[in-house]
Structures are given as structure tokens and as C-alpha cells.
Amino acid sequence: MMQDTKDFSGNLKAAPSDTPRYRLTKLGEQMARLPIDPKIARILLAAKKHDCMAEILVIASALSIQDPRERPLEARDAAAKAHERFTDKQSDFLAYLNIWDSFQRERDKGLSNKQLVQWCRQYFLSHLRMREWRELHHQLAQTAIEMGLTTKEAAFRQPPTQEQLRPSESQGDQDLAAKLKQKQLDKKQHRAQIRAAKEAGYEQIHRALLTGLIANVGMKSPDGNDYTGARGSRFHLFPASALFKAKPKWVMAAELVETTRLYARDVAVIQPEWIEQEAPHLVRYHYFEPHWEQKRGEVVASERVTLYGLTVLPRRPVSYGRIAPEEAREIFIRSALVAQECDLKADFFAHNKKLIKEITELEHKSRKQDVLVNDEALFAFYNERLPDFYTADTVSDDLHPANPQQTTPSLVGEGWGEGKTVATQTNFSATAANPLPKPSPAGEGTECRSFNSFRRPQNQ
């Protein structure tokens, strides 16, 4: 929405004060300059980032017109067979590139317009739509060049030449059997080269396409042949798709069309990781099962990534401290320090473990189970004194108490002699976010005294 509006006479007038004011982003301004659907415009802008502008210009212009392939009812099987030469097993989008390259090679031969029409009829292609496709492609390419998205050399795709496709045809005189054998070998080698080239550029092309078609992704249902899409939708692959029989786990579609059921047309195989990488502003993150991970030395949780309610990544471990620092700190204290599920090398922790072990042995000898204070008392002690950290790496022996005379709690209940105290640094003046202070003089950071208020009260 613009800041100012015009009245019916065309005069500029100020917008009402209570009207929200919106401005196009730089990306939106670039999209507005492209004379195509905003989704396709977004794809073109992403092509610059992924260095596949020539391919995307061909595909984007194809998606902006009616499909050039014809499938007459009276010759449906013949049309399907003729279109097989253009299909790609992983992507219907790449079929447009194959059609474009084939048509371009015929034009490069210098064929007349009549001969091009006959060639289109042979492969059940509409010559009028092919011409419309070329005109729109030229228009988009010129606009992209003017906008600085690409150069003239990089904007126009150069298809493989006939000699590159069939090198055996230029090998001079050979007997028929040798020619056929060499031709088959050349085809195999060429297909391998084409396959390698497609694999190298497949991700770039389809990640660019994904930026504009992000709402048309789907995951195959485990109990059927349909797909679960965004916002709870369910769709099927269009029968004419090259992927109809394969039914890969994750797909992206150019459009969803509802007839007798909801169909996805022009689909391609994608990786779910691309969704998060290309649309981080649209995905949502959910966290569950936070716990202390001893091997990693930190509190971790399981993360689930969703897009419009569709689970993209069901579970992956992430550091929980950056997500919920307070909760991660509590889990760290309870699991790593109180439960001693940590290989911490700090002197105070080693001393405390030894002390707790001695008191536990005292419990066994005296056959009393209430000698050692409970876990809540230990948690309260650590919670009061420890800084805001939640990993073992941030605990350092360099930390020292601001007040060396501050007392530490007794680990045994009253009636058990003088009692033993926890050796630990107290009242830390440093946190994980600030530089740690230098070590205090020898003995200053390990002084321990009894703290009677922490003792377990004696049973009456």
C-alpha cells in the first residue's frame, strides 16, 4: 500500500492517519518490474542467486503460457509416445528445457516456417504456443538484462549441437554394423554426460523454483499414493507427469488443479532441507524433549520444522541454551551437577563428588537414608551461586567468589558431628556472556565453611 492516495480527480491526497502504511521491499520492487505472475517473478530473482538464469528464463516463460504439448483425445497414446523424448524422470520442469533445446536445434538448421510447423506436428507440439513461448522468453530476458540480473551472454541458453548429440554421424565411411554399434555407444556416453550435467545443475534450478512454489510442496503419505501438502491439503500427482509411477517422497508442483480430485501438475523431486534454506521466514520451529546430553556436554532438545502445518524435518538435535536459557540452565544444574552426569574437570566438582560418595558410604554403614541432603537442597545451592551457563565448557576453575568468606552448605543432617561442606565457588561475578575474571590468589576460591541453614533438620 502506498503512503499517499489519489482522489477520483487524480489529485494526490494524504492517506488517513489510521490507515496502515506499507512499502515494497527492494525485492518487491524488482518483482513489480517483471511482467509475469509474482511467484514466477520471485523465481527469476532467485535464479541470479543460484546461477541458473538461462535455464530459469526458459522454464519461467513456459510456466507463464499454456502448455505447448498437445494431447488430442483421438491420438492420446501417440502423443504420449512422442513426448517421451522430452521427459525427465526426476522433474517435469526439465522437460521444458528438453523441448526448448530440441526446437532450437531445428531452428538452427535453417528450417523454413512450414518445416518447423511439420516438426511440431510430428511431436504433438503447438507451433503457435512455441512462438508465444519464444517471444515471452525474449521479453523476460531483455528485462532481466536491463535490471542487471544477468548478462546477454548468460541469459540465452545454448542447446547441444547435433554433432554433440550424435558424434558417430560424422565419422566417415563405416560398415552398417559398425555404425550402429558406434551409434549406440555414443548415445550411452552422451546420456551419461547429460545425466552428470543435469545432476550438477538440478539442485540450483529447483531451489530457485522452490522460492516461488513453496506453497505447492508435498510429502507422500505413508499409507497411500496421495501427498500431504501445506495447510492440511492432500493431492495426487497428475497422470501425465513423468513422476506419476515413481511417486517420490517429496515433490514440488507448479500448480494444484482441482477436477475430480486435487492434482499436482508439473512436479519435481526436491529435498526437504531446501524448504528451510529457501524460505526461513515461513517455517516454524517446535522444540520438545529437552535433556542433558553428556557426550555433547550441553543441554539439547529435539527440533521439528514445519511449513504451514506440514512437517518438513521431524526431529533433529539442537542446542537448547540459545532457545530457552533459563530452562536449559535448570536442566544443566539438575542433571550435570546434582545428578553428576557430567565429566567436569573443575576442582570444586571433583571435590563435591568425592564428598557425596563419602557421605553415601556413611549412610550404608549407619543404615540411615537421610544423612545426605536431598537433591532440591543441592539444586538450590548451585542455583543461587552459578552464573547463566548451561554447558560444561562454560564452567571454569578460573571463576572465583566475590566474597571468599561466604559459607557453603553442609551435606549432612544435624546430629552427625561437625558435618562436611560442599567445596565450590560461590557468588560468581562472571557470566557466560562476559569475560571470565583472572584466578584469585591460591586458596581464595576454595575456602569452605559450614552453613547450618542448609543442614537437614534432625528428626524429633
Q: Would you say residue 366 has pLDDT above 60?
A: yes
Task: With cut-offs at 50, 70 and 90, classify the pLDDT of residue 300.
Answer: very high
**pLDDT of the residue at 349:** 81
Per the listing, cell 496502515 goes with: 20
Given this model, what pLDDT does residue 371 score?
66
266, 270, 273, 279 alpha-carbon torsion, rounded to 10° = -20
Distances (CA, A) of 128 to 37, 66, 275: 21, 10, 36
pLDDT the model gives residue 396:
52
Q: Where are the domains of the chain?
A: 28-212, 216-323, 347-454
* 87: its cell numbers: 521427459
Residue type, 332: F
Distance from C-alpha of 288 to C-alpha of 331, rounded to nearest angstrom: 14
At 453, the pLDDT band (50, 70, 90 cuts) reads: very low
The per-residue pLDDT for range 222-232, each reduced to its tens digit, is: 888 899 999 99
What mean pLDDT do residues 279-306 have? 95
**With the C-alpha atoms ordered 99, 105, 106, 108, is the resulting torsion angle positive or negative?**
positive
Rounded CA separation 343/395 (Å): 11
* Gap between the Cα atoms of 411 and 417, Å rounded: 12
Tell the residue number behind the cell numbers 522433474, with chain if given.
Answer: 91
Cell numbers found for residue 287 = 522444540
- % of the chain residues with pLDDT over 90: 52
Of 406 and 18, the structure prediction assigns the larger pLDDT to 18
Would you tell me the crossing angle of helices 176-212 and 53-63 to the nearest 10 degrees? 80
Spatial distance between the Cα atoms of 10 and 203, rounded to a whole number of angstroms: 48
For residue 55, give Cα distances in angstroms to 61, 159, 407. Answer: 10, 11, 72
Is the pLDDT confidence value at 385 over 90? no
Higher pLDDT, 297 or 306: 306
Tell me the pTM.
0.73
Instruction: Quote the cell numbers at residue 98.
Output: 528438453
Lowest mean pLDDT among 110-124, 222-236, 423-437: 423-437
Local structure of 451: helix, strand or coil: coil
Query: Which cell is 248 given?
Result: 517420490
| Residue type for position 30 | Q
Kindly report the average pLDDT of the chain as a whole number: 79
Task: Confirm if 251 and 237 have CB atoms less than 8 A apart.
Answer: yes
Q: Diameter of the chain by CA atoms?
A: 113
3-state secondary structure labels for all residues of 146-201: HCCCCCHHHHCCCCCCHHHHCHHHHCCCCCHHHHHHHHHHHHHHHHHHHHHHHHHH
Is the pLDDT higher at 452 or at 343?
343
The CA distances from residue 238 to 49, 80, 183, 431, in Å, are 30, 14, 35, 59
CB 338 within 8 Å of CB 379: yes
Q: What are the C-alpha distances in Å from 98 to residues 35, 189, 198, 312?
A: 25, 18, 11, 31
DSSP string for 287-338: EEEEEEETTTTEEEEEEEEEETTEEEEEEEEEESTTT-HHHHHHHIIIIIII
Tell which residue, 89, 82, 109, 87, has the closest CA to residue 97.
87
pLDDT of residue 219: 97
User: What's the one-letter identity of residue 252?
Assistant: M
Give pLDDT tens digits for 314-346.
Answer: 999 999 999 999 999 999 999 988 988 888 878
Query: Does 416 have pLDDT greater than 60?
Result: no
Give pLDDT, residue 90: 95
CA 124/CA 116 separation, integer angstroms: 12
Among 190-194, 240-244, 273-277, 394-398, whose mean pLDDT is lowest?
Answer: 394-398
For 448, other C-beta atoms within 10 Å of its C-beta total: 18
Question: Residue 317: enclosing H or E segment and its boundaries?
Answer: strand 310-319
Scan for cell 541458473, then name that residue.
Answer: 52
| pLDDT in the model for residue 131 | 96
CA distance 294 to 287: 19
* Length of the chain in terms of residues written: 460
Collapsed DSSP state (helix, strand, coil) of residue 342: coil
The predicted structure's pLDDT at residue 364: 82
